[in-house]
């Protein structure tokens, strides 16, 4: 199916999103849209299918996240790949559990050193029934001041990315691997990650999204327990505890290197997410 053969509302969504990303409608773009349409019918190209990770290569970021890792196993023996086996909660029950976690555990958390330098914790926000859960690295300065995730310049670009998908920010959930801002926006230290990420795992267990989108290398490496660089991870479907996971570039990286190639790469990744979910123009399947 070519882009011209897609339903009219889907063509409008794609063209509007590409304009938001500053991209032009080219023959290559149309060919990529055809591939995404093929994926939507269940005939995914072979390179979109999760595969065993090749031998892992150490990087500065993953060492900071995990410390010393033996044979790519990751930090902590408690990490598991098993799907969640707890019952799926009703909407109001989800809201209640998340609110209680935030108020009684996260808001005044002092389990690691980040608590000494933060202004506010950043719990995360969005639809408790969200199909898509975006995960970043950690709060920045604006997020630390407001207590909300992705509200600075990178957050403004993320909002455009979400709008390009035909969704509103309120229809997804947005969080980070740590709830407090690391000083000078550095990569979270291993003890900070291992102390804080149980909150993230519980959020994911409560919300049960259909797709996780990891934004940038730190969140991708943590969720996949891998040392691979982003160029080998981005755009390839993975599975995390039975949930489909798509790694893509962090909006801050795109802003630093605002090239058509990087914007196209992110939009291609998001189109794969739309195809996986079968999301239409309204943002609901």
CA distance 19 to 38: 23
Q: Which residue has the higher pLDDT, 218 or 24?
A: 218
pLDDT digits (tens, 9 = 90+) for 208-230: 999 999 999 999 999 999 999 99
Distances (CA, A) of 123 to 1, 147, 244: 42, 7, 23
Domain boundaries defined on the chain:
57-258
pLDDT digits (tens, 9 = 90+) for 79-138: 568 999 999 999 999 999 999 999 999 999 999 999 999 999 999 999 999 999 999 999
Q: Which residue has the higher pLDDT, 161 or 48?
A: 161
pLDDT digits (tens, 9 = 90+) for 228-261: 999 999 999 999 999 999 999 999 999 999 999 9
Q: Which homologous superfamily does the CATH classification assign to the domain defined by 57-258?
A: Uracil-DNA glycosylase-like domain (3.40.470.10)
CA distance 226 to 143: 27
Distances (CA, A) of 44 to 138, 205, 218, 275: 33, 27, 27, 10
Q: Coil, strand or helix: which one is 249?
A: coil
Task: Give the global pTM.
Answer: 0.77
């Amino acid at each position: 199916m070519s882009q011209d053969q897609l339903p009219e509302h889907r063509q409008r969504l794609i063209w509007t999103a590409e304009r938001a990303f500053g991209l032009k409608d080219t023959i290559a773009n149309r060919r990529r849209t055809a591939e995404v349409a093929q994926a939507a019918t269940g005939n995914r190209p072979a390179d979109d299918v999760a595969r065993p990770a090749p031998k892992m290569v150490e990087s500065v970021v993953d060492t900071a996240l995990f410390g010393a890792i033996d044979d790519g196993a990751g930090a902590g023996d408690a990490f598991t790949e098993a799907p969640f086996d707890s019952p799926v909660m009703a909407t109001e029950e989800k809201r209640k559990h998340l609110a209680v976690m935030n108020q009684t555990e996260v808001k005044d958390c002092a389990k690691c050193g980040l608590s000494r330098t933060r202004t506010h914790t950043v719990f995360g926000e969005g639809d408790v029934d969200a199909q898509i859960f975006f995960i970043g690295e950690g709060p920045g300065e604006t997020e630390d001041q407001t207590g909300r995730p992705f509200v600075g310049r990178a957050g403004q670009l993320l909002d455009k990315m979400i709008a390009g998908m035909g969704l509103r920010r309120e229809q997804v959930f947005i969080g980070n691997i740590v709830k407090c801002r690391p000083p000078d926006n550095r990569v979270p230290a291993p003890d900070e990650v291992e102390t804080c990420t149980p909150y993230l795992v519980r959020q994911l267990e409560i919300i049960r999204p259909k797709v996780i989108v990891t934004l940038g290398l730190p969140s991708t490496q943590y969720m996949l327990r891998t040392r691979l660089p982003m160029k080998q991870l981005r755009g390839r479907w993975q599975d995390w505890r039975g949930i489909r996971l798509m790694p893509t570039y962090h909006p801050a990286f795109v802003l630093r290197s605002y090239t058509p190639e990087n914007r196209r790469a992110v939009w291609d990744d998001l189109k794969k997410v739309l195809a996986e979910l079968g999301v239409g123009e309204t943002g609901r399947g």
